[in-house]
Structure 1
Amino acid sequence: MSLLDTINKNNLPKHLAIIMDGNGRWAKQKGLLRAFGHESGTKSVRTTVETCARLGIENLTLYAFSTENWNRPKLEVDILMKLLISSLKNELKTLQDNNIQLNSIGNLDLLPKSAQKELQEVITKTKSNTRMVLTLALSYGSREEIVNAVKNISDKVKNNIISIDSIDESIINQHLYTQNLPEVDLLIRTSGEHRISNFLLWQIAYAELYFTEVLWPDFKEEDLYEAIISYQKRERRFGKTSEQIK
């Protein structure tokens, strides 16, 4: 029996998020420049996106570029931005063929104008697709997201648009980048690191965490299946007891 055959299609995460880590180390192990690792990582992105769509996962969010990544060497940042533009152009057909809608979160104003333009074009062209929502976290930092939410809520309180007493989790959710997405059910991080790295801190409050030693360019369908199988073996109690769940 294959790994795919053991997956319960009725117990899939509705929202899967992935920290795609290890491109640089993959390239270094092979004696290549980091750029080759990033380029090879795009193949894993395509494989993962198509596999999630086939499985029936409704929401997939990929940590593509963090706010901290702007601090990397300028040459590497320039290469990543060019790779983003070329990937958006090259993968539009894949998104259309698989009925996938593209979404993006983060401080997108910091992206080069050419990247913003290409990103918006693909978002517009795929907005009617319904099979899965693919969200790219670009120039994204969760702490910045939460700070912005607090500022926006505070401004509305100041202007009597909402009252302090009405602020609850739903109000905060409405002011996050992910306001149209469900909470994360499963978070995967590749490359053996056991950190969240400022990714969806609010949204993963009850997510199942899965860490794998596999470097992102080597992440294949079977690795995704193993993560989902691990997720399906866990008991998600959300603060309740096992007896209450059963």
Structure 2
Amino acid sequence: MDSKDDNRPMIQVQNVSKWFGSLKVLDEISFDVNEGEVVVMVGPSGSGKSTLLRCINFLEEFQEGNIYVDGKLVGYRDVHVDGTDVRRRQSEAEISRLRTTAGMVFQNYNLFPHRTALDNVMMGPLMFHSRSKSEIRDECMALLEKVGLADKASSFPSRLSGGQQQRIAIARSLAMHPKVILFDEVTSALDPELVEEVLRTIRDLSKEGMTMIIVTHEMQFARDVADRLLFFYQGKILEDGNPRDIFANPVTDRFKTFVRRFSQAHQPLTA
């Protein structure tokens, strides 16, 4: 599976199931994501979207199935013991390498408060890339320029808005040269007027061909940017397809109800 195959999907999720105690939160989930594809996952809270995203990055372990990122098995390996294949957890070094391939941007930024914006972006490359500090600094400054925050390079997170901090977090992920970026409800902690600046940055990445999986409640954004939409409900994928087709002609009543309730909850206020 590790051999180069130009026709291989960038991400392969194969019959993945996960339990929290006796609660099955992911129920035999399977789908592929091709290189350059933008997949958006929507669904009610607790439906398994963020849990699956964390499994792809192996921030959560899962009990059944396999996940591959760029052809490499995520989190586990099969070891032959006494004539039987036994599943073993990968080493921390292997898992760390995975996370340079599949970057993740979180809801709450996770910036280091005692480091400047530039230092936050530089930390990963300085730890994992064997290049000069000046080269890394120049590249990270270019990434800050890319997300529209070069003028904030010397600012500490406490001096930045939530939207600015989230864009710094995106630049930090890009600095590791990932092949995939996973976005976990990255606008849900932002004030409404700050949401668009973050979504604009993600739209720009989609135009550049970055492979992305995005968990979001921004339905219009999902329509606009996604190549595919996955609707999760109780640990299963109930809808999978082109977002415009799904919104226009949903297959399940669950998705119809979800969209209707979401639309009602986000109706503009009138005087």
Structure with a larger share of its residues in strand: 2
Structure with a larger share of its residues in helix: 1
TM-score above 0.5: no
The TM-score normalised by the length of structure 1 is 0.33
The TM-score normalised by the length of structure 2 is 0.31
Higher RCO, Cα 8 Å, sep 6+? 1
